[in-house]
Structure 1
């Protein structure tokens, strides 16, 4: 096998790549050494600002054999909503699929409930009561947020 200089990277490309790597390492070191605070999570910012919940509903999501998702209000002991197969509620299914995967990784089943909370600042979050993972639903846009907001009691809906 021969050595062919035509297939090598140009020196300028190698130099720029090296400079970019050095810049990234330098910028990271500067942030760490100057004590620049890391970005806070929405939950931490709410706690710091003492933002109170307006409404909270404890929900359990269960898959039915026919492909429907049954959403149970744990405190009331009643069905809050049934999402039938084919309904345009892919966002709820997608969020719950991700949370279920997280629970499987922690060895937790679907029995423990989730907490859906509307905050005084207008934010809406869904928190896994077992793993502590919280999803800020407002970040996904008004239509997707509304899918979960519809699960709140009628008088508390935004």
Structure 2
């Protein structure tokens, strides 16, 4: 048996360059990585171009329990007094309902009690957050739009909940 170069194809390739990765693409990719790393370092050291979430201190806090009734009605009660704050029928309270589903799922995965209260907090910056006291999860509701945040801000009540 002869060598592979005698099969024809490899014999014709003698003296020719092999295909290489284009140097321009490689240099461009390295330059992009260096620029991105430099921009991050510049932003972190100077603060220019960096967006930071500053909520400040809590202005109002209210612990609530959110449950579903047999008729798929969502009932919101003050966790301390047990007074009903709001009730949403089957086709109402879309964002409150959706938030409840998300938190129910997190509680199911974490295997914690579904009777623990939720905490609605209004911050100095005007933002509103919803926290799960059982799992420690917190979402800032402005991320879902001002109207949706206002749906939970309404649950703080006329007095704005318990100030701390």
TM-score > 0.5, shorter chain as reference: yes
Q: Which residue of 96, 101, 111 corresponds with 2:100?
A: 96
* Residue from 36, 57, 68 that aligns with 1:63: 68
Is the Cα–Cα contact under 8 Å of residues 55 and 118 in structure 1 kept in the other structure?
Answer: yes
What are the within-5 Å matches in structure 2 for residues 1-158 of structure 1? 26=33, 30=37, 42=53, 45-46=54-55, 51-87=56-92, 89-156=93-160
CA separation in 2, counterparts of 1:115 and 1:41?
23
CA RMSD of aligned residues (A): 3.2
Structure 1: gaps (5+ residues) = 1-13
Q: Partners of 1:139 and 1:77 in 2: how far apart?
A: 29
- Distance, in Å, in 2 between the alignment partners of 1:63 and 1:77 is 15
For 2:106 and 2:81, the matched residues in 1 are separated by 26
Larger Rg belongs to: 2
- Number of aligned residues: 133
SS of the residue aligned with 1:67? coil
CA–CA separation in structure 2 for the residues paired with 1:150 and 1:66: 24
**Once the 2 structures are TM-superposed, how far is the Cα of residue 130 of structure 1 from its aligned partner?**
1.6
Moved beyond 6 Å, runs of 4+ = none
8 Å Cα contact 2:60-2:121 kept in structure 1: yes
